Amino acid sequence: MKKKALIVFVKNIRLGKVKTRLAKTVGDEAAFEVYKHLVGITEKESQSVPNVDRLIYFSDVIIDTKWAGDTKYVQEGADLGERMKRAFQMAFDKGYDQVVGIGSDLPDLNKAVIELAFEKLNEKETVFGPAEDGGYYLLGMNELIPTIFENKSWSTSGLLEETLTDLNEQNRSVVLLKTLNDIDTIEDLKASSISNKFKELYELSRSDKSTV
């Protein structure tokens, strides 16, 4: 059986530091509650994936009460690419044959999607979960491919396309999972599967705009 690692990148849940684009519409406290809920979904779904070791990377400080029993680190690197590269490199250095990394702000990223990513790595060298904003919410590979993390336009709509072009030039095989959307704006929240839970946020936002 292949040795599998699931890397989870988590931003520490701090008031005023998470979901800042959403906060511009609903306020810091509401954005805090939305992200807290999303992290809870990620924790539950990732911990339900069998036969993998979970490596949890917090943005600033390790939280002992989250992902109990799993291995935890603090992210290191000047930008997202470097932080991801270091995490994947460490996993492969530890002897894992398949490594999948995910973020922590997608309401629809579940156990089945993560398991499918590992299955696809039995067929292809890399797997990506495309995000609706042009980036990706999941990345998996069977060995470290440094160019995935180098000289990329992070947090832009062309990130995935740029990355796939590089891999095609290297004749690397790729499989794409279904497209999902993270929650960055009030429009994302309204269109999401957790919209009813936070319905009062966008209703309040709409009412505030009507009074301007």
Q: Encode pLDDT of 117-145 as tens digits.
A: 999 999 999 999 999 989 999 999 999 99
- Over residues 75-84, mean pLDDT: 94
The label of the residue with tokens 């292809």 reads: 124
7/139 Cα distance (integer angstroms): 10
pLDDT (0 to 100) of residue 98: 98
> Which strand ranges, in their side-by-side order, compose the sheet holding 174-176?
71-74, 53-58, 4-10, 98-102, 136-141, 126-130, 174-176
199 pLDDT tier (thresholds 50, 70, 90): confident
Domain that holds residue 93: 4-184
- Over residues 70-89, mean pLDDT: 96
Is 90 exceeded by the pLDDT of residue 3?
A: yes
Instruction: For the chain, give the percent of residues with pLDDT over 90.
Output: 79
Is 90 exceeded by the pLDDT of residue 203?
A: no
Angle at 44 between CA 38 and CA 45, to 5 degrees: 90
140/96 Cα distance (integer angstroms): 12
- Counting beta carbons within 10 angstroms of the beta carbon of residue 54, is it exposed (0 to 12), middle (13 to 18) or buried (19 or more)? middle
In a domain, 200, yes or no: no
- Over residues 17-33, mean pLDDT: 92
In a domain, 62, yes or no: yes
In a domain, 115, yes or no: yes
- Counting beta carbons within 10 angstroms of the beta carbon of residue 105, is it exposed (0 to 12), middle (13 to 18) or buried (19 or more)? buried
In a domain, 192, yes or no: no
Q: Domain containing 32 — which CATH number?
A: 3.90.550.10
97 pLDDT tier (thresholds 50, 70, 90): very high
- Over residues 194-203, mean pLDDT: 82
Is 80 exceeded by the pLDDT of residue 205?
A: no
84/118 Cα distance (integer angstroms): 18
pLDDT (0 to 100) of residue 149: 95
3-state secondary structure of 33: helix
In a domain, 125, yes or no: yes
Entry pTM:
0.93
pLDDT digits (tens, 9 = 90+) for 44-74: 999 999 999 999 999 999 999 999 999 999 9
Number of domains in the chain: 1
pLDDT (0 to 100) of residue 212: 32
- Over residues 182-187, mean pLDDT: 88
pLDDT digits (tens, 9 = 90+) for 159-172: 999 999 999 999 99
pLDDT (0 to 100) of residue 206: 55
Q: Which two tokens stand for residue 87?
A: 């995490």
Residues 110, 193 contacting (CB under 8 angstroms): no
In a domain, 189, yes or no: no
In a domain, 191, yes or no: no
**Distance, first Cα to last Cα, the chain:** 61
In a domain, 202, yes or no: no
The label of the residue with tokens 């009062």 reads: 200
- Top-confidence residue, 174 or 206: 174
The label of the residue with tokens 């579940």 reads: 110
Q: Which two tokens stand for residue 35?
A: 């992200």
Q: Under the phi-then-psi rule, with left for phi > 0, alpha for psi from -120 to 50, and beta for the rest, what region is 53?
A: beta
